[in-house]
A and B are shown apart, each in its own frame.
Chain A
Amino acid sequence: MLMISPKMASGVQEKQYTPCLLSFFIYNPTFGPREGEVRVTLLHTNKHHKNLKMMTKSLHTQKNRQFFFEPEENFWMVMVVRNPMIEKPNKDGKPPTIEYQEEEILDTVYGAVVRQCYCMYKLFNSTFGRAMEAGGVELLIQKLEKFFYRYLQTLHLQSCDLLDVFGGISFFPLDKMTYLKIQSFVNQVEERLSLIKYTAFLYNDQLIWSGLEQDDMRILYKYLTTSLFPRHSEPELAGRDSPLRPEVAGNLLHYGRFLTGPTNLKDPEAKFRFPKIFISAVDGYEELHLIVYKAMSAAACFMISASVELTRQFCEQLDSLVGPQLTLLASDICEQFTINRRISGPEKEPQFKFIYFNHMNLAEKSTIHMRKTASVCLTSVHPDLMKILGDINCDFARVDEDEEIIVKAMTDYWVVGKKSDQRELYVILNQKNANLIEVNEEVKRLCATQFNNIFFLD
């Protein structure tokens, strides 16, 4: 968590500490005061959680900030984050002065993180209430410990930003014909393997098709892109003789492989167990096996009712059916993508740093963020600027009207936020001597080139 600031202030080395997680607990006040991380009560109503978007509440203190979130009735999730601080060494061997930067962290960002925690838990474990019903407090505690022990380590609070607020989905740009081919592929697979209830299709970690509803896809997408995919590096990118691709070597017909479940179908010891996920259904929740199958950059997620026992035979059938088709499709998409990029030319390539988000379809696009890796989400701009973006976002959230906010940051950057209907666009311009009019013109130009096919008011 320690980060040495590149800034050297008057020859004295300062130590800057990023926000970090102090504690995280879940409790239920109706159960009464009892020590321990998890307090739950037997009183529980199985209620639908339609208002998940409700704001988390927060308590600001000098050192910490506490976030409260009640995802289910009487179940509170509390996250305590230590404010970022700067440690200034004192000359006379005195203990260093610590300066807490209370205003540096945004409620919206960390509030979203808490909500995400709950959603992620729910994706793999269903609701707290369900665990209570199934096995009482003990089971719930067990489940929570098992899940959050690992999950909290992956949070990386220091790199949370506006994108966590949005929790968006990045869609892969694709021409109509290739898209229809994918549709056709998905439909045919679902028909042949009628066990499959839902399918999602991704390419290059970007979504192309989701058979799940939007909210379920949103969290599954988060899991896939921040956890599952980064863990499986691309063995097909590695050399042919690389040890990374042992199972591929045996099968020259296609590049398909399971990312969940058996790593090698030919292994007689292979286990055909897949992670189970819970998605919302008309009557409560639906439990599903999650099969993620990948060929080159194309990944298909097949979801099968958890009541079905998955067998070796089924997996082999899926492998032989999907493998070759997905391999072909992946190279088709790649080819089409290259062609499209060549046609659109380099002038279409974004020269701006921007974040775009559409609340309606959760589409997000960022030229600020680098490729996500398992460990950290890198941005190409200074955290101060990211904070300005977050601030603008908070302002937008306050009113319904379309707005435009232009901020001149201290580092000569211009930050522009635009909100039109359900869309938000944030642009960072690095033009030292530009005036407001020029900045405005620049943003108009960006809209005309990048967003000419949507209704986005200037």
Chain B
Amino acid sequence: MVWKRVHMKVRQSAIRTFSSVCCYTSFTTVETVSYCEGEGRLVVRFPVSGQTSGAEPARCVRMANEHYLELKENPVQFEHASSVNNVFFDEANKQVFAVRSGGATGVVVKGPDDKSSVAFRMDDKGEVKCIKFSIGNKILAVQRTSKSVDFINFIPDYPHMEFTQECKVRQPLGQTSPFPPVPSVTLCVALQTKNANVLGFCWTSWNEIVFITDQGVEFYQVDRWRARRFCRVKLLFRCGAAGNVLKCGFQVFPDKRSLKLQKSQNINVNWYQYCPETAVLLLSTTVQGNVLQPLAFRNGTISKMSKFEIELPVIPKPAKLSLSERDVAIATIYGQLYVMYLKHHSRTPNSPGAEVVLYHLPREGPCKKSHVLKLNTTGKFALNIVDNLVVVHHQSSQTSLIFDIKLKEPDCAVNTHQPVLPARSIHPYRVSLSGPVVVPSQPPVPCQLYSSSWSVFQPDIIISASEGYLWYLQVKLAPMVHLLEDKGKLMDFLLRRRDCKLVILSVCSQILGGHEEAGLPVVATVFDKLNQVYKDYLEADQSYTAAMESGPSRGSTAQKRPVRTQAVIDQSDMYTHVLSAFTERRDVSHKFIIAVLMEYIRSLNQNQITVQHYLYELVIKTLVQHNLFYMLHQFLQYHVLSDSKPLACLLLSLESTYPPAHQLSLDMLKRLSTANDEIVEVLLSKQQVLGALRFIRSVGGHDNVSARKFLDAARQTGDQMLFYTVFRSFQQRNQRLRGNPAFNPGEHWGRPVGEGLAEVLS
């Protein structure tokens, strides 16, 4: 297929035209329409013949489709899972482990970047159940049995030889292998609790690890310094069933058999979830599994957060495990930790549909049920968090929904949310069949989305083990713009997104595009929302600067400089990207242009933000262009356009077309009270020499002023009396100041003053 590309030269109007083109696309042959943000043009593609096209320009934000979710480019690729290759994923480091033949033919670790990718070999000591690096790839922990975990030291600055002396080191495998063999310090940690089975483990720092067993939690530290000679593991805490945390002494474990059994109580752990960002571990306890115990790890300590119970839709009889690990996820949204519970309803005809219940886990205080997200359907779901949005994937419809918990729903109960946008599927994704090596001859084939082989991890990871891909999910803001009718709500939504600036600016251009769609009240609302964020940032920045100036030592908490997010749209952004082009438009009435500019200035004023001069200039330019001088006069009369020297100068330049501008300008200079020199210049240029002289005397600047320019101006009038008056006035001044009427050298105009006077008086 050959694509015929039609470029339309557009500015903001493009976006308006766009929506109509967009409707058009669905019925005719136009295949895609895209808006190039950077170039300000619309790209419309028509399929012409049966040949295929080249790649589309990456900068184009495709709008023809409404897929607002997509899989990020450049996924992490790994060898797909097979009978000889086991794949593991570590949520803490976001690493995928492809373990071939139990590690004997290689372990390939792929992380989000090249630095975190490692390949090595290790002995096949049985089937690997779980494998994870500590943070920073320092220590590898491998679990092969349900009773013990092995450690392999990856700290590079320790010569491997030292390990060989103290520890048991595997001999290098065959030299031909592509993977370097690992000198492993295998330290099997046996559990503190007898008969306990390890459900899993999590690294909470580079050398701290927590084991979750079916009977409790055990928290260890691998001693880095002593690891040089022999590896030590320190048991820090163990958590018992009743939730009592038992602090253990410093434990050295030179030998796995010398484990000392601590006092222990039985705890019934069904499963666990771990949030690496906040280092919070969630344990499912009790028979039904619906009592969750969160534990927080920090700096080698463990603290118990309040436990809470999840309301089950049906209470089973007899009691059995009813809360599945699959239905619970833990993630941070807007900096707060939430436990998300996918609540399925029984399949009855008038079932209300499934919902996601969010439990807020504060650092202190009890956990509360805080939000309910209505899915309005039933089936299989998976959850992701992208850009603080809760994304709910629905497998049977192959669509996803997004929820913004900060978006207030006016017609719902306080914390019940409906999807922000209608359900859409993830943007189609193509993969090349040849796997990691790109073969140009083979066209990429569409990848099956919402496949049952997908695994979803928090916050934004989707893994297809059978195909060997790890994707990051991301939101595309541009397509949402057309899906959300309420512009105020849209703005609220966009302002909370990460890469929102360009989209917000394009929405601004769009609502100014034509006032059938968005009237002034909408424009006003949007401006107010933007400026609220802008003001909050300015205030935070100001108080930071003030705090820094008053001395950083003062104040107990060291203030951090406020981060300027993309949502801070300042006046220069609005001017450059929206307003300057908007005022140039010929197809919009000047009345609307001025109304919009005034609305923006009003909104800035309402938020006590100092309006920048270039905005006033824009207002004046627009008014002058349409001969609306009286309007300008009234604005100045009420000081809507704040006083400044540049503005006064601009007004002076308007005098020839609008004479009252002269008066307005002088008034403004007077009010500034720092522009006395300018006032004198203006008056002298008008040959109002006496006026200038009177003015400079009234402000007390007479003594320091240069007589020369006054005399010059007086001479130019050709009025001899005037010249004499001015001359005398300065002579008197000289007499008063220096006791002599003579002028200082250089103060008069080039020639001796007396001579000039003679000439004029003659």
Find the B residue at minimum CB distance from A171: B637
A402 touches B520 (CB 8 A): no
0/1 per residue, A390-422, Cβ < 8 Å to B? 000000000000100000000000000000011
B521 touches A188 (CB 8 A): yes
Q: Which residues of B82-112 have CB atoms within 8 Å of chain A's CB atoms?
A: none
Given contacts A179-B638, A184-B524, A188-B521, contact A422 B691 (CB under 8 A): no
Bound CA span A450–B366, Å = 63
Bound CA span A213–B592, Å = 18
A454 adjacent to chain B (CB < 8 Å): yes
0/1 per residue, A346-388, Cβ < 8 Å to B? 0000000000001011010000000000000000000000000
Residues of B within 8 A of A358 (CB): 663
Q: Which of A190, A192, A421, A453 contacts B591 (CB 8 A)?
A: A190
B595 touches A187 (CB 8 A): yes
A209 touches B634 (CB 8 A): yes
Bound CA span A323–B667, Å = 37
A176 touches B639 (CB 8 A): yes
B630 adjacent to chain A (CB < 8 Å): yes
A183 touches B598 (CB 8 A): yes
A437 adjacent to chain B (CB < 8 Å): no
Bound CA span A423–B664, Å = 12
A457 adjacent to chain B (CB < 8 Å): yes
Find the B residue at minimum CB distance from A363: B637
0/1 per residue, B156-173, Cβ < 8 Å to A? 000000000000000000
Bound CA span A421–B661, Å = 12
B605 touches A453 (CB 8 A): no
Q: Do most interface residues of chain A lie in helix, strand or loop, or is the interface mixed?
A: mixed
B698 touches A188 (CB 8 A): no
Bound CA span A183–B663, Å = 24
Q: Which residues of A75-95 have CB atoms within 8 Å of chain B's CB atoms?
A: none
B519 touches A188 (CB 8 A): yes
Bound CA span A361–B636, Å = 11
Bound CA span A289–B168, Å = 101
A191 touches B670 (CB 8 A): no
Q: Which of A188, A213, A361, A457 contacts B637 (CB 8 A)?
A: A361
A177 adjacent to chain B (CB < 8 Å): yes
Find the A residue at minimum CB distance from B515: A191
Residues of A within 8 A of B663 (CB): 358, 360, 421-423, 455
Residues of A within 8 A of B659 (CB): 360
Find the A residue at minimum CB distance from B636: A361
0/1 per residue, A162-200, Cβ < 8 Å to B? 000000000100101101110110011011100000000
Category for how many chain B residues contact A: 35 or more
B601 adjacent to chain A (CB < 8 Å): yes
Given contacts A180-B601, A361-B660, A421-B663, contact A455 B679 (CB under 8 A): yes
Q: Report B298 CB to chain A, min CB distance, Å.
A: 48
Residues of A within 8 A of B670 (CB): 453-455
Given contacts A191-B592, A457-B695, contact A174 B638 (CB under 8 A): yes
Find the A residue at minimum CB distance from B633: A361
B605 touches A210 (CB 8 A): no
Given contacts A191-B515, A191-B519, A455-B663, contact A176 B638 (CB under 8 A): yes
Given contacts A181-B602, A184-B598, A453-B670, contact A213 B630 (CB under 8 A): yes
Residues of B within 8 A of A361 (CB): 633-634, 637, 660
A191 touches B520 (CB 8 A): yes
Residues of A within 8 A of B712 (CB): none
A214 adjacent to chain B (CB < 8 Å): yes
Q: Which residues of A184-236 have CB atoms within 8 Å of chain B's CB atoms?
A: 184, 187-188, 190-192, 209-211, 213-214
B640 adjacent to chain A (CB < 8 Å): yes
B599 adjacent to chain A (CB < 8 Å): yes
A286 adjacent to chain B (CB < 8 Å): no
B578 adjacent to chain A (CB < 8 Å): no
Q: Which of A176, A192, A213, A421 contacts B640 (CB 8 A)?
A: A176
Find the B residue at minimum CB distance from A184: B602
Find the A residue at minimum CB distance from B643: A453
A145 adjacent to chain B (CB < 8 Å): no
Q: Which residues of B490-508 have CB atoms within 8 Å of chain A's CB atoms?
A: none
Bound CA span A213–B515, Å = 26
Q: Report A166 CB to chain B, min CB distance, Å.
A: 16
B666 adjacent to chain A (CB < 8 Å): yes
Find the A residue at minimum CB distance from B660: A360
B694 adjacent to chain A (CB < 8 Å): yes
Residues of A within 8 A of B521 (CB): 188
A187 touches B520 (CB 8 A): yes
Residues of B within 8 A of A191 (CB): 515, 519-520, 592, 595
Find the A residue at minimum CB distance from B692: A457
B526 adjacent to chain A (CB < 8 Å): no
Residues of A within 8 A of B660 (CB): 360-361, 422
B149 adjacent to chain A (CB < 8 Å): no
Bound CA span A181–B630, Å = 19
Q: Report A155 CB to chain B, min CB distance, Å.
A: 29
A180 touches B520 (CB 8 A): no
Residues of B within 8 A of A177 (CB): 602, 605-606
A138 adjacent to chain B (CB < 8 Å): no
Residues of A within 8 A of B620 (CB): none
Bound CA span A358–B670, Å = 17
Q: Which residues of A414-458 have CB atoms within 8 Å of chain B's CB atoms?
A: 421-423, 453-455, 457-458
Residues of B within 8 A of A187 (CB): 520, 591, 594-595, 598-599
Residues of A within 8 A of B639 (CB): 176
A192 touches B519 (CB 8 A): yes
Residues of A within 8 A of B9 (CB): none
Q: Report B279 CB to chain A, min CB distance, Å.
A: 49
Bound CA span A358–B664, Å = 11
Bound CA span A211–B666, Å = 25
A457 touches B598 (CB 8 A): no
B602 touches A183 (CB 8 A): yes
B187 adjacent to chain A (CB < 8 Å): no
A455 touches B667 (CB 8 A): yes
Bound CA span A176–B515, Å = 26
B671 adjacent to chain A (CB < 8 Å): yes
Q: Report B371 CB to chain A, min CB distance, Å.
A: 35
Which interface residue of A209, A358, A457 has the most chain B CB atoms within 10 A? A457
Q: Which of A171, A180, A421, A455 contacts B598 (CB 8 A)?
A: A180
Residues of B within 8 A of A174 (CB): 638
Q: Which of A184, A213, A457 contacts B694 (CB 8 A)?
A: A457
Q: Which residues of B588-608 have CB atoms within 8 Å of chain A's CB atoms?
A: 591-592, 594-595, 598-599, 601-602, 605-606
Q: Which of B599, B602, B667 contacts A454 (CB 8 A)?
A: B667
Q: Which residues of B508-527 have CB atoms within 8 Å of chain A's CB atoms?
A: 515, 519-521, 524
Q: Report A135 CB to chain B, min CB distance, Å.
A: 34
B669 adjacent to chain A (CB < 8 Å): yes
B638 touches A455 (CB 8 A): no
B598 touches A214 (CB 8 A): no
Find the B residue at minimum CB distance from A178: B638
Find the A residue at minimum CB distance from B686: A421
B694 touches A180 (CB 8 A): no
Residues of B within 8 A of A213 (CB): 630
0/1 per residue, B432-464, Cβ < 8 Å to A? 000000000000000000000000000000000
- The 27 listed contacts between A and B (C-beta, < 8 Å) are A176-B605, A176-B640, A177-B602, A179-B638, A180-B601, A183-B598, A183-B640, A184-B524, A184-B598, A184-B602, A187-B594, A187-B598, A188-B521, A191-B515, A191-B519, A192-B519, A210-B630, A213-B630, A360-B659, A361-B633, A361-B660, A402-B691, A421-B666, A422-B663, A453-B671, A455-B666, A457-B691
Measuring CB to CB, which residues of chain A are less than 8 angstroms from any residue of chain B? 171, 174, 176-177, 179-181, 183-184, 187-188, 190-192, 209-211, 213-214, 358, 360-361, 363, 402, 421-423, 453-455, 457-458
* 9 A-B pairs with least C-beta separation: A187-B595, A180-B602, A360-B660, A455-B666, A455-B670, A179-B638, A454-B667, A188-B520, A455-B667
Other A-B contacts than A190-B591, A360-B633, A422-B663, 16 sampled, CB-CB below 8 A, are A176-B638, A176-B639, A183-B640, A187-B591, A188-B521, A213-B630, A360-B663, A361-B633, A361-B634, A402-B691, A421-B662, A421-B663, A422-B660, A453-B671, A455-B666, A457-B691
